[in-house]
Structure 1
Amino acid sequence: MIPLYQRFNLYPDHDTYTFVPEGTDARNLTVHRSSGDITLNEAAPPASARRSSKVIYGIVGIISLTLSDYLIVITGRELLSRLMGHDIYLATNFEILPLNPNINVDHPPHIVETNFLGLIRAHFSGGNFMFSYTWDLTTRLQVQNIRAAESEGKALWELADTRFFWNRFIQTSLIDSALTSSAPEAWAPYILPIVYGTFDLRPVFLHGRHMQICLISRRSRFRAGTRYFRRGIDNEGNVANYNETEQLLLVEGTTASGPESKYSAKYSFTQIRGSVPMFWSEINTLKYKPDLQIMELPQTGDALRRHLSAQVKTYGTVRMVNLINQKGHEKPVKDAYERFISELDMPEVQYEYFDFHAECRKMRWDRISLLLDRIKDDLEKQGYFACRDNDSVVQEQSGVVRTNCMDNLDRTNVVQATIAKWTLNKQLTELGILEPGASVDNYEAFSKDFREMWADHADAISAAYGGSGALKSDFTRTNKRTRKGALEDGVKSVTRYLKNNFFDGTKQDGFDLVTGAWVPRKNPAASMALVLDHRPLIIRSMPAIASFSFFMILAGLTLPRSSDYSLFYYFLLWVAIFAVSMVFIVIHGIEYVAWPRLNPLTDIIYYSGPGFRSAHNGKGWAGASQLKARKPKWVSNGKVLVDEVEMGSLKKRLD
């Protein structure tokens, strides 16, 4: 594999950006600002270019907005750890460089450009982006070992798993330049893949053996987004919140002659998670429990088959573990999921249902062992990747467990951590470090590191998708469910509610812009609708009326009074105004959710075809009366049983 350049000096001037690698006499990379062309040059930077005071640690890519293209570069990094002799970094600072010399990124000349630049900044400052110059962080150890011979002389970006190559879309210009070049290997050191995920490596010591345990999660760039704005599957078979999680166990030998040869054994165990693979969503209405929408589309079966075929091709046999409740709000998702799975004829795919909340109620979290007992045979057959001295392969992982709950966060985290611990115990027993039947839980220091790794991993995935740390993380950290943990979960739930309803729209737009799910036109006027509020005046004014009336109520508490009834009518007036405005806001709740604007969800919100709808909250008086008039039910014969709701001002606003 061709290693990447690790540091650049940047020489900007009016016509070019020139990147000069430090410590090498390789050709410079020049981006021509007027044309956007990218070239490799032997010549020194132009005399008019002065060296930037900032060191560049990597080129993330080039993104095209309405007024200019922009270079995104890494200007800050933090060394996370050293994995098998390879440095793993976290990107801590990014900078956006305009190609148009007339554009100031801090004060763009148009509000649309300002909005888009804000989305990009928020995306890169709010994510967890990791990279390595010498190690393919996108690809699990087993695949790297299999293709070790063919990796020689290849570029890192060519080897990267495209699912987890987060900046693949904005690296298109550099990759195209490499592909059309007569010497593509000269471009390879400039193209840096970054991963959106987590990385944690900890040294551990047990029974006289030094080991390292590492946890890596990789988030897919396909159907990426936030909790309520990216659910289910798309026509290509990509599912929301898809993450691959790899647990590595590296056992050090008694001698060490090099950075990689010191390991007497290397183990890798991979799990995946992803949204329920059918067309469904939850529609925010300002109520704590959103409306559940399941769309029974003709292409559901094909999309499901496409998704599972991709998993089988990538990992081998797939054991699907479904943790959704079999009662209440989640039941229709479970029923629909199982109906589509039952119609699927794929012997490589096995389905397992486990009602997590029912089985583990009253904090009986030890009952997860019931699930383990049911899938243990599959775990034994699928195995894990193992190699010994000189990288001789002992066994390969021939399948994967795919776990999901409603959000693929909290319950999924607990189950994946439990499966990972079972596998770790098996690996340590195989090595003779643990006695048969023993567990890492018997060794507090080791167990604590393991639990904290999985809890931190869970928090990071949950924050990226749901807006807060993971629920139930007290169990992951301590092996116990506590009342304090339940209280903390309440705070996290409130945080999720606020972010999911009022902040995730712009966050989703950032995902769509950076991953290429939406591409802007070269005309800011054509995108003005994305920054303007087209809602009727009465809709826009209600929050202001509610806020002012609440202020007047508080102000009334400070006013002097001659008797207990002197301000009765004053309070009656403002309390009535406040109550009416709040009722209005709740009834029209959909109008007050911060929806994504680049890829609006109008077709999902107002879907009226076959499927299931739990309610029609937040759609105004018509929607509320519909909800009272009829109970939602499945539509299996293709006939629409629920009248279509007028899209009204929301459709205008989103379109």
Structure 2
Amino acid sequence: MVATCKSSDSDLERVWSPAAFHHSSFWSSLLSATMKPLHQRLHLYTEGDDTYIFVPVDDGVETQSLTIHRASGDIVLNRPNTPLPNYARRSQRTLYGIVGLISLSLSEYVIVITGRELKGRLMGHDIYRATAFDILPLNPNVSVHNPHHPVEAHLLALVRSHLHGGNFLFAYGWDVTRRLQAQWETQEKAAHKALWEMADDRFFWNRFLQTRLIEANGSNGKQDLSKFVLPIMYGTFDLRPAFIQGRHMQLCLISRRSRFRAGTRYFRRGIDHEGHVANFNETEQLLLVEGPTTPGAQRVTDDLFATKLSFVQIRGSVPVFWAEVNTLRYKPDLQIMDLQETADVMKKHLQEQVSVYGNQYLVNLVNHKGHEQPVKEAYERHVAELNLPNVRYEYFDFHNECRKMRWDRISVLIDIMKDDLEKEGYFRLDAIQPEPVKLQQGVVRTNCMDNLDRTNVVQAALAKYTLNLQLRELGVLPPGASVDHYEGFSKDFREIWADHADAIATAYGGSGALKSDFTRTNQRTRKGAVEDGMKSVLRYLKNNYFDGARQDAFDLVTGNWVPRKNPAAAMFLVTDARPLITRSVPVAASFSLFMICAGLTLPRTSDYSLFYYFMLWFSLLAISLLFILIHGIDYVSWPRLIPPTDVIYYSGPGYRSGNHGKGLKDNFGIAKRSRWLGTPRSRVEMDHIELGDMKKRVD
């Protein structure tokens, strides 16, 4: 395998010893060569309104095309070299993979990749980001661009927004969903398996969309569709070449976002009944280092890097039932649900992490006082009650320790954890040894309230500490030295982590990461604080006025909500069921503001001519704004597919910081439910939107 990136092709001329070459080739073939390859390019042919035919490009003499019959939806793998129908017409665009099939209210659709961008070359495999998609309807009477029903148009818009708003990564010969150590440990099991069969189910983002292809795969005992099933990951990938002390290396950072309990900042918090937490991300830092060169040794073009090192961290929401309810106020109402099953689902979550990663080190960065305190206390209480083996809890008062921009104080946490970091180690493979030199025995699970800003800073600090350990152990850095002493490498490290932080924050919170100036420059600046203020305002606007549709898109594409084949049953998606007065107040406020601005340009005939005019419109504006504030939840952009009604109006045991935004009646203790939010009308519906649950719902 060639482990290089586009910008370092000239370094292939470096050499190793013959022994290193032998072991490197041995390791390379074991790791990935036995996986079934995927088709990298497809041509699309249509036979009138009857079929879609996907023909692999440059697949050798035994090419097998794939036919999807539009009328029945049947998926058939054709025999080798089956001729195309006489009337088949070829699309002008080349396809780079099939994302999957999704069923909406009027038709089923095939989603395909029509554009890709090369992000880097990792261990001889090209890693791509999908940049363009096409949606092909099976129903010939449905137009993708102009569907004849508003519900179908709305659902298609959700799918498009999700596809074009996400960062989707894939490879044809490398499993982007699994960390390096997991690939090594399952290399024998993976022999002759398809890529989708070995993919990590948590990070196989289009697993629901691929259901039809997977079910058709071998359904009659004959056809093998594995070459058409492309696993896609939602996350980040960055790879950069670097030099330290004359040694060529690559630094790579990969983050993988879980498809379980996926969504946006305020609409997916905490844990569900299956033990999945919101905003769960696995972050893997890879370091590839070339071996020492020997004059006159054999030239190698198979694998440039003698040593591969991997360090993995995870992040995820506090694993209790909690939420923040938007009310249009800057700080939402905090709601903690003290349910009987909280301990059981937290135990399930933590035990699953132990089974996957080994020992768990829970680093909690939630504030110990103020708005966040109840979340911290609930987390600590349940962790203490469970007292699980292989799970250690560590609290770090981030804002107190790092106040007044003393961000260097993160070293306090490093000092606390350094023995455990060195004990649990990292994964290391050497070309001259057939077995790993080291295995990572555990991971650090970091969280703050959003698992974004504070979490990013701490994860970057832990990654840098481990990177220094790795380079010293390899002899690249002398004892006591740090990557900070090498400005070029240090800059790449900071930028790669800052870009990673921005991408995760944008996907979940709606804006780039806060505190990223420290990650990029190792300093907290006033300019960075001002930028953080602007990002906070952007988050507020998106979280309150736009994230409802984004959450609906997550639920639709990941299969948490499946539409019926009857668009009339989903008219609630395209209609506004709020009371007339609720809908009219923003119009009144806007008109009042317009009249006030217009009044500033009117001629003044007397001192009192405009006094009553302005008093009228200012009064109407004030009354309108007060009404909007009091009824704040009626003006938030809530998800419509799976509305969080039971969270908003939760009345069981737990903690609530306030009951804002529900109208005057709630201020007097009289509960009111906004029926337009989708209040359940039957026990069956209640079961499908049970608190914290992510069961698939059909509407």
Please say whether Structure 1 and Structure 2 have the same fold, judged by a TM-score greater than 0.5.
Answer: yes
Counterpart position of 2:427: 385
State the distance in 2 between where 1:470 and 1:651 align: 31
**Aligned runs of 1:604-643 on 2, under 5 Å?**
604-626=647-669
Does 1 or 2 have the higher relative contact order (CA < 8 Å, sep 6+)? 2
Matched to 1:156, the amino acid is: L
**Aligned runs of 1:120-519 on 2, under 5 Å?**
120-183=159-222, 186-253=224-291, 254=293, 261-390=303-432, 392-519=435-562
543, 547, 551: which one aligns with 2:586: 543
State the Cα deviation string for residues 142-181 of structure 1 (Å, max 9, x = none). Answer: 1111222332211000010000000000100100111424
State the Cα deviation string for residues 520-564 of structure 1 (Å, max 9, x = none). Answer: 111111111222111100000011111111011111111111344
State the distance in 1 between where 2:230 and 2:536 align: 37
Contact map agreement 2:95 2:112 (CA 8 A) in 1: yes
Distance 1:304 1:257, change over 3 A: farther
State the distance in 1 between where 2:346 and 2:354 align: 12
- Normalization by structure 2: what TM-score? 0.90
Counterpart position of 1:74: 113
1:11 aligns with 2:45: yes
Contact map agreement 2:282 2:312 (CA 8 A) in 1: yes
645, 648, 653: which one aligns with 2:671: 645
Contact map agreement 1:440 1:446 (CA 8 A) in 2: yes
Q: Which moved more, 1:40-49 or 1:401-410?
A: 40-49
State the Cα deviation string for residues 396-417 of structure 1 (Å, max 9, x = none). Answer: 0000000000000000000000
Matched to 2:45, the amino acid is: Y
Contact map agreement 2:218 2:225 (CA 8 A) in 1: no
Distance 1:181 1:431, change over 3 A: farther
State the distance in 1 between where 2:630 and 2:316 align: 33
The residue matched to 2:323 in structure 1 has which SS?
Answer: strand
Q: Which runs of 5+ in 2 are unaligned?
A: 1-34, 682-699
- Normalization by structure 1: what TM-score? 0.96
Q: Which moved more, 1:369-378 or 1:30-39?
A: 369-378
Matched to 1:273, the amino acid is: R
State the distance in 1 between where 2:364 and 2:454 align: 10
586, 593, 599: which one aligns with 2:629: 586
**Aligned runs of 1:569-580 on 2, under 5 Å?**
569-580=612-623
State the Cα deviation string for residues 291-335 of structure 1 (Å, max 9, x = none). Answer: 000000111011000100100000000000000000100000001
State the distance in 2 between where 1:598 and 1:257 align: 59
Contact map agreement 1:76 1:93 (CA 8 A) in 2: yes
The residue matched to 2:217 in structure 1 has which SS?
Answer: helix
1:51 aligns with 2:90: yes
Matched to 2:319, the amino acid is: P
Contact map agreement 2:103 2:563 (CA 8 A) in 1: yes
Distance 1:59 1:519, change over 3 A: same
State the distance in 1 between where 2:211 and 2:40 align: 20
Q: Which moved more, 1:304-313 or 1:551-560?
A: 551-560
State the distance in 2 between where 1:260 and 1:109 align: 55
Contact map agreement 2:288 2:307 (CA 8 A) in 1: yes
Contact map agreement 2:233 2:256 (CA 8 A) in 1: yes
Matched to 1:60, the amino acid is: V
Contact map agreement 1:455 1:473 (CA 8 A) in 2: yes
The residue matched to 1:574 in structure 2 has which SS?
Answer: helix
The residue matched to 2:451 in structure 1 has which SS?
Answer: coil
State the distance in 2 between where 1:620 and 1:257 align: 76
Shift of 1:257: 5.5
Matched to 2:430, the amino acid is: R
Matched to 1:2, the amino acid is: K
Contact map agreement 1:221 1:515 (CA 8 A) in 2: yes
State the distance in 2 between where 1:368 and 1:259 align: 42
1:26 aligns with 2:63: yes
Runs of 4+ in 1 over 4 A off after TM superposition: 255-260, 650-655
Q: Which moved more, 1:485-494 or 1:374-383?
A: 374-383
Shift of 1:103: 0.4
Shift of 1:653: 7.1
Contact map agreement 1:9 1:52 (CA 8 A) in 2: yes
Contact map agreement 1:222 1:239 (CA 8 A) in 2: yes
The residue matched to 1:395 in structure 2 has which SS?
Answer: coil
State the distance in 2 between where 1:183 and 1:363 align: 64
State the distance in 2 between where 1:374 and 1:318 align: 15
Matched to 1:357, the amino acid is: H
State the distance in 1 between where 2:606 and 2:241 align: 72
1:84 aligns with 2:123: yes
Equivalent residues, number: 637
Q: Which moved more, 1:214-223 or 1:148-157?
A: 148-157
551, 559, 566: which one aligns with 1:523: 566
RMSD of aligned residue pairs (Cα, Å): 1.3
Counterpart position of 1:640: none
State the Cα deviation string for residues 67-92 of structure 1 (Å, max 9, x = none). Answer: 11000000000001100110000000
The residue matched to 1:538 in structure 2 has which SS?
Answer: helix
Contact map agreement 2:100 2:209 (CA 8 A) in 1: yes
Contact map agreement 1:504 1:596 (CA 8 A) in 2: yes
State the distance in 2 between where 1:259 and 1:158 align: 30
Matched to 1:332, the amino acid is: P
The residue matched to 2:418 in structure 1 has which SS?
Answer: helix
Counterpart position of 1:565: 608
Shift of 1:624: 3.0
State the distance in 2 between where 1:218 and 1:18 align: 32
State the distance in 1 between where 2:231 and 2:299 align: 30
The residue matched to 2:405 in structure 1 has which SS?
Answer: coil
Shift of 1:378: 1.4
State the Cα deviation string for residues 92-121 of structure 1 (Å, max 9, x = none). Answer: 001100000000001111111111000000
Shift of 1:26: 1.6
Matched to 1:31, the amino acid is: I
Contact map agreement 2:640 2:677 (CA 8 A) in 1: no
